[in-house]
Amino acid sequence: MVNKDLIPKYWYNIIPDLPKPLPPPRDPPDAEFSRVELLKKILPKEVLRQQFTIERFIKIPEEVRDRYAIIGRPTPLMRAKRLEEYLDTPAKIYFKYEGATPTGSHKINTAIPQAYFAAEEGISHVVTETGAGQWGTAVALAASMYDLSSTIFMVRVSYEQKPMRKTIMELYGGKVYASPTDLTEFGRKILKENPNHPGSLGIAMSEAIEFALDHNYRYLVGSVLDVVLLHQSVIGMETIAQLDELGEEPDILIGCVGGGSNFGGFTYPFIGAKKGKKYIAVGAAEIPKFSSGKYEYDYPDTAGLLPLVKMITLGKDYVPPPIYAGGLRYHGVAPTLSLLIKEKIIEWREYKEEEIYEAAKIFMKTQGIVPAPESAHAIKAVIDEALKAKTEKERRVIVFNLSGHGLLDLGNYESIRRRVEK
Amino acid sequence: MRRMLVTYMTLGYPNLESFYKFIEKSVELGTDILEIGLPPKYAKYDGPVIRKSYKAVTSWLKDYVTPLKEVRKKVNIPIIILTYLEDYLSNLDNFLTILHELGIDGVLFPDLLIDFVDEYEEYVSKIKGKGVKAVLFTGPSLPDNLIIKASKISDIFLYYGVRPTTGVIIPVSVDSLITRVRNLVQNKLVVGFGLNDFNDLRKALSAGADGIAIGTAFIEEIEKYGIQSALQLVKTIRGILDEYS
C-alpha cells in the first residue's frame, strides 16, 4: 500500500537558483514565423506557463499526485549492498529505482502532468515522438489515464528493432507510426531523399509537432525543455526525504544524460537545497556531447520548428551512431543543465559501450536488476567513484538514479554481447 | 507619483512622416520617455511584430543619424535607443559618441545581461564614460543577486521584461513576477516586453511598477488601423497609468 503522504506536494524549479541568467529561447534570424509564438499552439497552456515560470516551488495538482500513487510513487530508494561488497569499497551506494514504474522508467513523471494539463484544457488528443520507446510508452499510458487519444512517432530503427515497445504503446491505446512517415510534409521530404531512412529523434520530433499543429492536437515534450526537468524533480524531492529518513547526507550524486530530464529531475532538488558535494552527469563516448559539443543556440528538433535554445549541442543535423542506449542518442543537453555544466557546478563523464556493458553486468550480478543501457552509464560512474573512495579510504555516500530497467532492451544487450564477447 | 509611460517605436516606422507625427503627438498625449528601436542585424529577443517593423524600415532606412537628429529637435523628453550590443562590438565607442553628440539620453541593449553577462559592468562603464546613460534590461530568468546589482547601476530606471520575447503572450503570472522584482529593486522599475493587454498592465501597476513600456501594441495598431488609432491607444494607456498615480 503506497502512502500518498510520501509523494512530494511541490515540484522544484532550479531557474531562480541558477548562478547566471538562463538565456531565453529565441527565433532564428529572418524567421518566416515565430517559433516562440508556435509554442503557444502546440503545448498545453499550463505546461507553457510552467516552462517560463520563475517560481521556485510549484504545487503538484492533487489529481497528478493521485496518478503518481497509481504508478507506484514514491519509487524505492535502495542500498546497493552487494555492489558495495563486490567493489570492497568503504562508500555507501544508494540508488533511486525509477524502473519500478509500470512503464519501466522515469518518463511517466512528466507524461502524467502534461496529459493532465492537456485534458484540463479540453484537449482530446496528444502527440509525441519516441526513440527507444520509453517516452512513447509513458505518453500512451498517461493519455489513457485521462481518456485522451495518443499518436506516437517512433524512430524507424527502434520501431523495427523493438517491436515489443510498439506493442505496449498499442496496448495502452496509443497509435504508433514508424518515423519518417508519409503523414507529414517533413516526413515525406525525408522519405523522398531516402526511402530507407532509419529515422532519428530529431526527425520524429519534427513530425510529431507538425502533426499536432495540423490537427490542433497538443504535443507532449519528453526531455530538454525546462518544464520537463521541473516535473522530473519529483525524483530528487523524494530521494531527499528518503535519505533524511535514513539519516544519510549524500556526497556524490550521479545520473545519465540523454536530453537531461532524469539527471536534472534527480539532482536539481539537491543542488537547490545545497545537499551533496559533487554532481556527475554521464553520457556516451560514442555521442560526445560533453567533450565535443558547443555551447550555443541550436534547435531542439531537426526540422527547426521549435525555438532556438542555448545548450551544449552537437548540432541539430547530427546523426548519432546507432549505439545500444537509444535514450542517449540526442544532439543536445537541456539548457539549465548546459549552463550548470558550463559553470562547473556539474561535472561530466563519457564512457564507451564496452565499459558500460561491464558495469551493467556487475550490477546485474550483484543487485539482480537489469538496468536500462542508459542507466548503466550512471552505474559505470558509480563504480569508478566507489573505487576512488576505496583508494582514498573515504566513506562517501554515493547516490544515483537508476532511471529505468532494461527488460525491454534485452535485444540490445544481446547485440552488444555479440560485439564485445567475441 | 506619476507613473511613467515609456513609448517604443521603431525608427522610421511606418514611414518618416508618420513616425515623426506619432512621436510628437504621443509626447503631447503623455509619453514620459521615448524608446526608439534601431533595427539590428538579428532581433534575437523580439517577437514577430517588432521584427516585421524592422524589416519594413530596413528596406529604405539607411542612415539613423538624420532621423534621430530630427526627433531630438521635435521632443524634449528623454530618448533611449534600443538596439543590440552584438551589432556594435567592433565600433561601440564610435556609436556611443554619435548618440551623445545627437543628444540622445540613454541606450538599452536587451542582450547585455544575457549574452554578455560576464562583462556587463565593463560595458556599462564604457557607455557612461561616453556621456550616455545605461538603461539595463532584466527579466525573470535573471538570478535575484544579478537583478539587485544591475538595478543599482541602471540609469533612469531598471527595465524588467516579463516575457522571453516581445509581443508573444506566453502565459506568465505578471503580478507575482513584479512583486518579486519590486522587493529587490530600489531604482525606478519599468515593466515591458510582452505587456500588451490592459489586464496585464493593471496587474503590473498594482504590483508596484513605476512605469510601463509599450511597443508591440502601438506597432500592431499602426499596422491595422493607422497612426491616429495608435495615438488613441497612447491616450487610453496614459489614462490607465493616471488611475494609479
Maximum alpha-carbon separation in chain A: 60
Q: Which residue among B117, B169, B172 places its CB closest to the CB of A21?
A: B117
Task: Kindly tell me if the per-residue pLDDT of A205 is higher than 70.
Answer: yes
Q: Does B172 sit within 8 Å of A53, measured CB to CB? A: yes
Q: A105: which residues sit within 8 A by CB, 6+ positions away? A: A98, A99, A134, A138, A262, A372, A403, A404, A405
pLDDT of the residue at B117: 94
Selecting among B46, B105, B111, B155, the annotated active-site residue is B46
Please check whether residue A303 is in contact with residue A206, taking contact to mean a CB–CB distance below 8 angstroms.
yes
Work out whether strand A77-79 and strand A252-256 pair parallel, antiparallel, or are unpaired. Answer: unpaired
Distance of CA A262 to the CA centre of its chain: 5
Asked whether the predicted pLDDT for residue B147 surpasses 90, the reply is yes
Residue B196: pLDDT band with limits 50, 70, 90: low
Chain B residues whose C-beta sits inside 8 Å of any chain A C-beta? 41-45, 47-48, 51, 113-115, 117, 139-144, 146, 163-165, 168-173, 176-177, 180
Interatomic CA distance for residues A356 and A367, integer angstroms: 16
Contact B171 A49 (CB under 8 A): yes
What pLDDT was estimated at residue B167?
59
Res A200: pLDDT:
84
Q: In what order do the strands lie in the sheet with A278-284?
A: A77-79, A92-97, A397-402, A252-256, A278-284, A347-351
Reported as a single tens digit per residue, the pLDDT across A234-253 is 999 999 999 999 999 999 99
* CA–CA gap between residue A64 and residue A113 (Å, rounded): 6
Q: Do B47 and A37 touch (CB under 8 A)?
A: yes
Place B164 in a pLDDT band, splitting at 50, 70 and 90: low
Average pLDDT over residues A166-174: 96
- Residue B118 catalytic? no
- Which pTM value belongs to this model? 0.91
Name the A residues in 50-109 with CB < 8 Å from any B CB.
51-55
Judged by a CB distance cut-off of 8 A, whether residue A20 touches chain B is yes
pLDDT confidence of residue A415:
87
Q: Are strands A57-59 and A10-12 parallel, antiparallel or unpaired?
A: antiparallel
Secondary structure element (H or E) that encloses residue A291, with its range: helix A289-292
Is a pLDDT exceeding 80 seen at residue B165? Answer: no
**Which residue, among A368, A398, A402, has the nearest Cα to A92 in the 3D structure?**
A398
* Lowest-pLDDT choice from A171-180, A273-282, B163-172, B225-234: B163-172
Closest partner CB to A48 (pick from B114, B117, B171): B171
Whether residue B42 and residue A29 make contact (CB cut-off 8 A), yes or no, is: yes
Q: Do A26 and B165 touch (CB under 8 A)?
A: yes
The minimum CA-CA distance between A226 and chain B, rounded to whole Å, is 12
- State yes or no: pLDDT of A47 exceeds 70: yes
Least confident of A50-64, A179-193, A352-366, B97-111: A50-64
Mean pLDDT for the stretch of residues B108-115: 94
Has residue A1 got a pLDDT over 70? Answer: no
Residue range A256-273: mean pLDDT, rounded: 96
DSSP A46-83: HHHHHHT---SEEEPPHHHHHHHHHTTPSPPEEE-HHH
Q: How many residues does chain B have?
A: 245
Cell of B184: 529587490
Contacts of A18 in chain B (CB under 8 A): 141, 143
The predicted structure's pLDDT at residue A251: 98
The mean-pLDDT minimum among A47-56, A85-94, B213-222 falls in A47-56
Catalytic residue among B35, B155, B210, B221: B35
Would you mind telling me the total number of residues written for chain A in this entry?
Answer: 422
**Which are the contacts of A167, defined by CB distance < 8 A and separation ≥ 6?**
none
Interface probe, candidates B53, B165, B182, B220, chain A, greatest A C-beta count within 10 A: B165
Contact call for B143 and A17, based on CB within 8 A:
yes
Quick one: closest CA in A to B137, which residue? Answer: A21
* Interatomic CA distance for residues A9 and B109, integer angstroms: 40
Q: Residue A327 pLDDT more than 80? A: no
Do residue A19 and residue B44 have CB atoms under 8 angstroms apart? no
Interface size between A and B, measured as CB pairs under 8 A = 84
Residue B234's pLDDT is 97
Residues of B within 8 A of A46 (CB-CB) are 171
Residue B173: its chain A contacts at CB < 8 A?
49, 53, 55
Of A17, A21, A36, the CB nearest to B146: A21
Predicted confidence band at B24 (pLDDT cuts at 50, 70, 90)? very high
Q: What is the radius of gyration, based on Cα positions, of chain A?
A: 20
pLDDT band at A422 (very low <50, low <70, confident <90, very high): low
Amino acid B204: pLDDT: 93
- State the average pLDDT over residues B216-225: 95
How sure is the predictor about A142, in pLDDT bands with cuts at 50, 70 and 90?
A: very high
Q: How confident is the model at residue A323 (pLDDT cuts 50, 70, 90)?
A: low
Which residues of chain A are within 8 Å of residue B45 when distances are taken between CB atoms?
Answer: 24, 26
Q: pLDDT value at position B169?
A: 63
Which residues of chain B lie closer than 8 angstroms to A34, CB-CB?
47-48, 51, 165, 168
Q: A120-140: per-residue pLDDT in tens?
A: 999 999 999 998 789 999 999
Percent of chain A with pLDDT over 90: 77
Residue B119 has pLDDT above 60, yes or no: yes
Does the pLDDT of residue A2 top 60, yes or no?
no
- The alpha carbon of residue A50 is apart from the nearest alpha carbon of chain B, in Å, by 8
User: Which of A42, A54, A117 is best to mutate for the B interface (most B CBs within 10 A)?
Assistant: A54
- The confidence score (pLDDT) of residue B166 equals 62
Q: What confidence tens digit (pLDDT) does each residue in A370-421 have?
A: 999 999 999 999 999 999 999 999 999 999 999 999 998 898 899 888 888 7
For residue A54, the chain B residue with the least C-alpha distance is B140
Residue of B nearest to A32 (CA): B48
Phi/psi of residue B161, each to 5°? -90, 125
Q: With 80 as the cut, is the pLDDT of residue A82 above it?
A: yes
- Give yes or no: B111 in active site: no
* Residue-averaged pLDDT of chain A: 93
pLDDT at B32 > cutoff 80: yes
Average pLDDT over residues A319-345: 86
CA–CA separation, B114 and A267 (whole Å): 25
Does A52 sit within 8 Å of B140, measured CB to CB? yes
Chain position carrying cell 485534458: A119
Q: Locate A186 and state its grid cell.
A: 517533413
Chain A residue whose CA is closest to B55: A30
Mean pLDDT lowest among A230-234, B143-147, B237-241: B143-147
